[in-house]
Every structure is written in C-alpha cells, then in structure tokens.
Amino acid sequence: MNTEFADNPRRHRFELRSGDEVLGFIVYRLADDSITLVHTEVDPAHSGKGYAATLARAALDEARRRGLAVVPTCPYVASYIRKHPEYADLVA
C-alpha cells in the first residue's frame, strides 16, 4: 500500500494517508521553538502494519527539519525515541 505523510495544521496533526483514507495520525501542539507530540492513533483496520512507527519516524524527522525541540508526551512516541536513540537529541 502506498502511503503519504502530511502535516494537517488545521487539525493540529500529522497524518499517514493512502489516497483519501487516513491510516493514522499524531496530534501535536506547536509552540515557538518546540512541538509536543500528544497522541498517536492508527485505524484499527490497519494496526500491526508498522504505521505508528512510520508516523513517529516521519514526525520526528519533520521536527528536525523545522529545527523544533520535541516534547514526547505521547507514550508511543516516547517509547519510539528510547528504541531509536538517534532522535534523543530532539527531546526538549
């Protein structure tokens, strides 16, 4: 399945889409120099396919690209960072 990661600033979330279907998303709160990643959710019909990890990785890469510090209040994102220490430098 082809997927696309996109920012949906109107809904304050990053989305993983396949065509018009939202497979999952990460809700965020943006501040001047940081982004709080609040909640990760994947549609139950698509769970177990690695989409949450894809979302976490893409959101962290986007934060790095924008020069934002990350506040990982989402337990999934916090766990992802612990398992992928290459993102630890982003944590505020």
Give pLDDT, residue 1.
74
Instruction: Give residue limits of the domains in the chain.
Output: 4-90
Burial 4-39 (b: 16+ CB within 10 A, else e): ebebeeeeebbbbbeeeebbbbbbbeeeeeebbbbe
Segment 69-77 mean pLDDT: 98
Q: pLDDT tens digits, residue range 20-49?
A: 999 999 999 999 999 999 999 999 999 999
Just give the CATH number of 4-90: 3.40.630.30
Its pTM stands at 0.95
